[in-house]
Structure 1
Amino acid sequence: MTAIQTAKTSAVPDLYYDGGEIDVLWDNHDPAIDWYVTHMGWEVRRKELWWPDQRIRKGRMTHLGYGTWLNSVITAQRLPFHYAERGSVDPHIRWCWRTKQLQKTHDRFTANGIRVTDIYTGPDGKSYFDFWATAEGTRLTAEGDDTIRGAGFKPSCTRIGVRDLRLAGKWYNEFVGMNMVEDRSEDGYLVMSLLENHSESGRSLWILEQLAADAYTGQIDGPIRPLTLIKERDSFFAYHRWLTDNGVECGDVGGHLEKGRVLFHFYDPDGNRFNVSYC
């Protein structure tokens, strides 16, 4: 049985899903923009030079819609939030994007030399394939949905692989505040939800899915970072302290500690990284 922390007290603030960030190497930032515009139909909504942490030398970010940002920094040290592993094991976190005519999309990606998996049936019975974006090989997941309007890729759920569904569901409820939407543990998954910052429904869906018995479960800091937001600054810092006090391994707080945006990440018992911000 998988060991799991049990919270001493309940001090989880409201966490709002707020889109996500894709860490991109500095020299690849402009080619990455072109890749996502060309192959996923996203549009450049905003470009900024920014300093997400006092210790960086240069920073830039590009908003491609749906709360999705490409972020690049130049730094002389490994910062607590702004780094990513590449060329290693892919995380068990799948950031999913709905698109029409999944087979045609798969064929188009294949014809353009993009690395893809075969189309497979996900734990929820929907059709998916994983693909590796840009020259950096950043994995995203396409989900078939012929009911959506327009072309391109639209937001969907986030899938997280875990060793023990029952324990993981309890952990995400106690430490993240996720609510159970549907218990399909007999079929190998749970559907959980969090508040969402910008959506008509006001809720984001997270699927916890059963990992294979031999799956790697060490900590992985991948370039894909679905992001949650805490709207009160004091609550952000209190949550970081509470997680640490309850034995959850957290990265140090990064960003602008005196005033402005701050971020930290922590890991679930299966090594999956969870990202939190205040701005």
Structure 2
Amino acid sequence: MKVVPELFYDGGEIDVLWDNHDQAINWYLTYMNWEVKRKESWWPDQRVQSGKMTHLGYGTWLNSVLTLQKLPFHYAERGSVDPHIRWCWRAKNIQQVHNHFGENGIRVTDIYFGPDGQQYFDFWATVEGTRLTAEGDDTIKSNGFKPSCTRIGVRDLRVSSKWYQEFVGMSVLEDHTEEGYLVLALKVNHSSDGKSIWILEQLPSDAYIGKIDGPIRPLTLVKDRMDFFAYHQFLRDSGVECGEVGGFLERGRVLFHFYDPDGNRFNVSHC
């Protein structure tokens, strides 16, 4: 195999505390106009006592587990610094959405222009304060939030661009280093020609740098099981800090995460 297998964007997971799972479902249905596509009781790891998994469309899953130990993949920091990873969602009439959130007591930033010139605002979802990012797109005809890009804040754009190409296999679509960002891409699972967009953006000089295991986890997929385990070993052999593989090692779903040079977490799965 190639040392870096082909990675496919595969939606993402939002870690939710067990007691807040149903409340979180209602929040996302009410404020983001998502729909429950499927509910499951699941055991993502043999060390889990119990689990809940709810699919809200667009490959987005709410996951909750009960466990007596810190698992390699299924945990999240709360009440700390927000990660420099922004999972972005497009909505029409961003000003109206911003006003609606504010009127309902949802914490939001001001609307701002992102590195690519699009209008964004950050908001903190559910009682847990899980940060997501809204992006304005008036070409959308329906209400609700549609998939967009993932923005990753880094200290050095050129170093990070090379790193993501070398260790993740991303391709560069647009190089706007002088304007403070680059646009990279991965293929999309279940799409023959789709691309997922990843924007590397320049962090301010005073930004916190370090590992943050936030509750938002954009997810990539390695389709071949042997490639998945070989990729994990390759990253470790290359000095990339990786978590242990979680899930079911003999058969079934397996996951691991690793960190880029700025402590941004990247998530990989196989099932």
The alignment's TM-score, normalised by the length of structure 1, stands at 0.96
Query: In the alignment, is the contact (CA less than 8 A) between 2:187 and 2:193 conserved in 1?
Result: no
Structure 1: stretches of 5+ with no match in the other structure:
1-9
Structure 2 residue matching 1:161: 3-state secondary structure: strand
> 2:178 maps to which residue?
186
> 2:228 maps to which residue?
236
Once residues 263 and 114 of structure 1 are traced to their aligned partners in structure 2, the CA distance between those partners, rounded to angstroms, is 32
TM-fit CA distance, 1:229: 0.2
Structure 2: stretches of 5+ with no match in the other structure:
none
TM-fit CA distance, 1:200: 6.8
> 1:125 maps to which residue?
117
Q: RMSD over aligned Cα, in angstroms?
A: 1.0
Alignment of 1:1-279 (within 5 A): 11-199=3-191, 201-279=193-271
- Identity across aligned pairs (percent)? 75
One-letter code aligned to 2:186: L
The alignment's TM-score, normalised by the length of structure 2, stands at 0.99
> 1:6 maps to which residue?
none
Moved >2 Å (runs of 4+): 198-201
Once residues 198 and 266 of structure 1 are traced to their aligned partners in structure 2, the CA distance between those partners, rounded to angstroms, is 24
TM-fit CA distance, 1:203: 1.0
TM-fit CA distance, 1:17: 0.2
One-letter code aligned to 1:105: V
Once residues 147 and 182 of structure 1 are traced to their aligned partners in structure 2, the CA distance between those partners, rounded to angstroms, is 22
TM-fit CA distance, 1:201: 4.1
TM-fit CA distance, 1:198: 3.3
Could you report, residue by residue, the CA deviation over 1:241-273 in whole angstroms, capped at 9, with x for unpaired residues? Answer: 000000000000000001000000000000000
One-letter code aligned to 2:176: R
TM-fit CA distance, 1:123: 0.1
One-letter code aligned to 1:152: G
Structure 2 residue matching 1:171: 3-state secondary structure: helix
